[in-house]
Amino acid sequence: MKKITRREKPMRTMRVTWEIDIDADTPEEAAERALEIQRNQYSTATVFTVIDKGKKHEIDLTPSNPIDVAMKQAEKHVAELPGAKILNCKIVDDWAYEVTFEHEGCKETQLVGSHVFLGR
């Protein structure tokens, strides 16, 4: 059993904000759309403002390598096929990638729209 230890120094509380402009008919609809974007694991909404001890920091967590984004999406795509294994993933253009995978002894290549700007 893992021993639980206390942190020697307590963590600081920091203010983290994320801003987005959204067109909507009501404030509730705007909030719902923003939440949907935040919860999308492939969202490019990855820039935050962090205020720590009164100092403002702009933090960009956007993956620096677009192939990493494409590979994560390919993994999600192939995960729907039990036992499938990704053999190759390559970016075709800024909005699509090609994934080659093996499933039940067959090798298959599919062109997949990313729905996320991969920006090379």
pTM above 0.85, yes or no: no
61 and 76 in contact (C-beta within 8 Å)? Answer: no
Give domain limits for the chain: 15-60, 66-113
For residue 83, the model assigns a pLDDT of 87
pLDDT at 30: 95
- What is the pLDDT at residue 17? 95
Burial classification of residue 82, based on how many CB atoms lie within 10 Å of its CB (0-12 exposed, 13-18 middle, 19 or more buried)? exposed
CA-nearest of 18, 37, 97 to 65 is: 97
Rg (CA), the chain: 20
pLDDT by 10s per residue, the chain, length 120: 556 666 677 889 999 999 999 999 999 999 999 999 888 766 778 889 999 999 999 998 876 667 777 777 788 878 888 888 989 888 887 777 888 999 888 998 988 776 555 554
Question: Tokens representing 25?
Answer: 């008919």
